[in-house]
Structure 1
Amino acid sequence: MRRRQLILGLGGASGALAFTLGLGWLQSRGRAQPPAALLPLPIGEMGFALTNHRGEPVRPADWIGRPTMAFFGFTWCPDVCPTTLSDISGWLDELGPDADRLNTVFITVDPERDTQQVLADYLANFDPRITGLTGPLAEVERAVAGFRARFEKVPRDGDYTMDHTAGVFLFRADGRFASIIDYHEDRRFALPKIRRVLT
């Protein structure tokens, strides 16, 4: 009985953490939909203005007409971000020429450190089709709000780190939200999700 209560307690705590981080909105095998208030806005209703790692201005309206795959992170991230960017690079490689039809973006939640040049240097380690976005903190906050994501600056050992939503967001070519790929989701489930937005 005590073992069952412990398992249930741990399960509940894990579930709450996953929801807070935005990882549990859409499960790869489940069909439950989150409340509408938690769904990302359609891209056409977002209003942020950022700059990509090549120095070009980017607005969400620029993405309409092509499916979009977007991920929030930061270059000082020790594990989640490089792992996810490596996964994204692998997905793009496996998609072959179809991957060229995607807007694939990495939006920093740490614009204080992640300048255009820092993003350019960092993304040189991953698939060149991944575009990094940075800009004023207020614009990053607008982007995060539109995606219904979250981030938080957390002091640590005289410096800081960033807690942030770790899912990969997928949108259809018309800008409607399609699904989210959870952190460490198996490739067998991630790739079909991407292929569905490409159809």
Structure 2
Amino acid sequence: MMKHSLFAAPLLLLAACGNGTAGDPGEAPLAGARIGGPFTLTSSDGETVEWSDFDGKYRMVYFGYAYCPDVCPLDVQRMMKAYAAFTEAEPDKAQQLQPIFITIDPERDTPEVVGQFTHAFSDDLLGLTGTPEQVKQAADAFSVYYAKGAVREDGSYLMDHSRAAYLMGRKGEPIALLPVDEDAQSVVTELEKWVR
């Protein structure tokens, strides 16, 4: 069963409170929240990737794991379907947006495994993994909860983790939660609102 981190419910409520007018979305729902921060991880190509590498770009960030049997694939599918639709409608703006998948299961999610998972959805989705310490640093920066479930006789296990997709700004600042638990169009609506 998936658990939401303690901050998720208040942020979801906050995300519904817009005070902007048409054409002016107002203050970002997550403005001022302590979400995001420096990390060093490894891409599916084996390259070292730092959070600062994305400076100047908007970022869609989702934490999950490749062996997730249900929620992660559905969320990532909606996120990348929204990204594809946004790219078609706003190609110039989409070039300024980087979708990122960060594993919370580095024990199994090697660069190769993460690459297979992300490429199943889109070649534009950057998959990241790292050492357990590196993954923890990234997850902590985003207030992401995760824990390893009970190991079965065959050695398999599930990961319990919070469920959220973040839209981050050009300086790495938090903007909004992306409603990947709803549908792709809801995600597109958020991208159209905030990616300028």
Return the offset for 1:25. Answer: 2.1
Aligned equivalent of 2:47, options 45, 56, 60: 56
Return the offset for 1:104. Answer: 0.9
TM-score, reference length from structure 1: 0.79
Match of residue 168 from structure 1: 165
DSSP 3-state at the match of 1:91:
helix
Cα distance change on mapping 1:167 and 1:126 into 2, 3 Å: same
CA distance in 2, matches of 1:113, 1:126: 19
Match of residue 79 from structure 1: 70
Aligned equivalent of 2:94, options 83, 86, 99: 99
Match of residue 185 from structure 1: 182
User: What is the aligned-residue RMSD (CA, Å)?
Assistant: 2.5
Cα distance change on mapping 1:85 and 1:28 into 2, 3 Å: farther
Determine which structure has more spread, i.e. the larger CA radius of gyration: 1
- Report how many residues are paired: 178
Give aligned-pair identity as a percent: 27
Q: Which runs of 5+ in 1 are unaligned?
A: 1-16
Equivalence map 1:4-23=2 (5 Å): 18=4, 20=6, 22=8
DSSP 3-state at the match of 2:135:
helix
- Asked if 1 retains the 8 angstrom alpha-carbon contact of 2:4 and 2:162, the reply is no
Return the offset for 1:124. Answer: 2.0
Return the offset for 1:192. Answer: 2.1
- Asked if 1 retains the 8 angstrom alpha-carbon contact of 2:43 and 2:127, the reply is yes
Return the offset for 1:195. Answer: 2.2
Match of residue 118 from structure 1: 113
C-alpha deviations, 1:40-60, integer Å up to 9, x for none?
43x4xx222101111111111
Cα distance change on mapping 1:173 and 1:124 into 2, 3 Å: same
Return the offset for 1:149. Answer: 1.3
2:144 matched to 1:149?
yes
Return the offset for 1:156. Answer: 4.5
CA distance in 2, matches of 1:162, 1:122: 16
Cα distance change on mapping 1:27 and 1:87 into 2, 3 Å: farther
CA distance in 2, matches of 1:25, 1:131: 25
C-alpha deviations, 1:84-104, integer Å up to 9, x for none?
111112101111223232121
Cα distance change on mapping 1:179 and 1:95 into 2, 3 Å: same
Q: Which runs of 5+ in 2 are unaligned?
A: 19-28
User: What is the letter of the counterpart of residue 82 of structure 1?
Assistant: P
User: What is the letter of the counterpart of residue 157 of structure 2?
Assistant: Y
